[in-house]
Amino acid sequence: MRREYSDIIIRPIISEKSMNLRAEREYVFEVDKNANKEQIKEAVEKLFNVKVERVNTLIVKPKPKRDLRRGYMAREGFTKEWKKAIVKLAEGYTIKELQA
């Protein structure tokens, strides 16, 4: 079954660290947990019309979380586990849609 490219790339990650990586032509995305590096590379190249040099991926582990708004009935749980991809573009390419 062929998945759509927009199903593989969920959203760009906008943080101070990811913005600093853009000077080195590296962009950070939340991606589908089942996508491999080749699928992520192909999706970025097709969605943004760029050439990808390399893709690094990592699983962001869940972190403990407490909801204290309920006072003595504080709910405890975890954030969700998700996959992050750091995509380095070839020389001369940028993603204009993500420029701040």
CATH architecture of the domain with residue range 5-91? 2-Layer Sandwich (3.30)
The one-letter code for the residue type at 44 is V
Local confidence band at 10 (pLDDT 50, 70, 90 cut-offs): very high
Helix (H) or strand (E) holding 45: helix 37-48
Among candidates 27, 32, 22, 29, which has minimal Cα distance to 81?
32
Q: Say what the pLDDT of residue 8 is.
A: 96
Taking the alpha carbons of 47, 99, 18, 50 in that order, is the dihedral positive or negative? positive
Res. 76: pLDDT tops 90 = no
- CB-CB contact of 60 with 35 (8 Å): no
Task: Report the percent of the chain where pLDDT is more than 90.
Answer: 74
- Render pLDDT for 15-53 as a digit per residue (tens, 0 to 9): 999 999 999 999 999 999 999 999 999 999 999 999 999
* C-alpha span between 4 and 56 (Å, rounded): 21
Local confidence band at 70 (pLDDT 50, 70, 90 cut-offs): low
